[in-house]
Structure 1
Amino acid sequence: MSQRSNIPPKLAQKLLQWFLKDDLLEEVLGDLEEKFELEKETYSLSKARRNYWYQVIKYIRPFAIRGSFNHPQKNLTMIKNYLKIGFRRLKRNKVYSALNIGGLSVGLAVAMLIGLWLYHELTFNDYHTNHDQIARVMQHKTRDGVKITRAPLPFPVGKELREVYGDNFETVVMSSWTWGHVLGDEDKGVL
């Protein structure tokens, strides 16, 4: 049996050195090495290695981890105290609390709706393979002094786009309105 196989697992030692606090490291490594030697003689090398790993994993606890909270109990107590004070204030100032919670709820709902609307606008037509090359032609009109922008265009616009701007567009598609059209005479009251 080689000398190298008789030593504790190096990876386990490096793991301990990485996460264990410096003031505990030397003592813990010494204790684990003594226990490893004892188990290696009593049982087998493989069982001693398994137990060494088991002991290393057991040291992954808040008190031993480098840079962990010094007093986690104080933080928990502080949070409990904040919650207790908050609920007392809710009971004492019911109207003011209801207004605050209602305002917060409305604000969050509006923010989510704006976010959904922005998402819809930014991902519109993304399912097309060349969605960045799709253009929509809109018409600007002034009717009774009011500016109107709308998508429905007369059919001759499609023909003109194909003839004049045909080099810029691979395909020009025109579609009609999806709702019904009523033709009539105003004098007869059909419109």
Structure 2
Amino acid sequence: MSQKSSDNGASLSQNGTSAYTFTKEQLAEIEVLKTKYPEVQAVTLPVLWMAQDTFGHVDPEVQRLVAYTLDLPESHVHGVAEFYTQYFKTPKGKHVLDVCTCLSCHLCGGMDTLGYLENKLGIKAGETTPDGQFTLQEAECLGACGYAPMMQITNDVYVNHLTPEKVDQVLDQLASGDTPDFESIPMPLVSTTSNNEAAGGSDE
């Protein structure tokens, strides 16, 4: 594989065919990122995110572009991309639905939610709808056990306490171009005074 750069940015070519390209503006942003970390290896994560936001995935050829741009071994970039499930190693649909089926969600109907989505979209987990709108995935714990069953939409929005009716509403919103509101997960407030009293102590 040959490497090349152009006046418009950095790109790779393979067998004479132009592949993926970072723009001059993106390259300038990458140079700024490099100044924020002691080692260039640390810039791999944000540059992979930049690549995924730009190309929709970080398949092996995109990983090679990142390695070339950062002057890092391809094996390093590949290892980082493979470690994190949030990086899409193959092209996905416009909306990626990660349905949690870990223990808490499983006990609260996570598998039922996944099955409902499979029937509704006409695909199985790991597949993408023919129109390219939705990719359905089974996910491990997303840290919202008290709000099961739940799913995450394209590495961003959390939707909790899912029911068939709520799933239908979410799909309709996404299909119309709207994004559901992020349903935050409030953390319990722990009183220091209460803890001390429970331990037989005092605040004084």
- Name the larger-Rg structure: 1
Q: TM-score, normalised by structure 1?
A: 0.20
Q: TM-score, normalised by structure 2?
A: 0.19
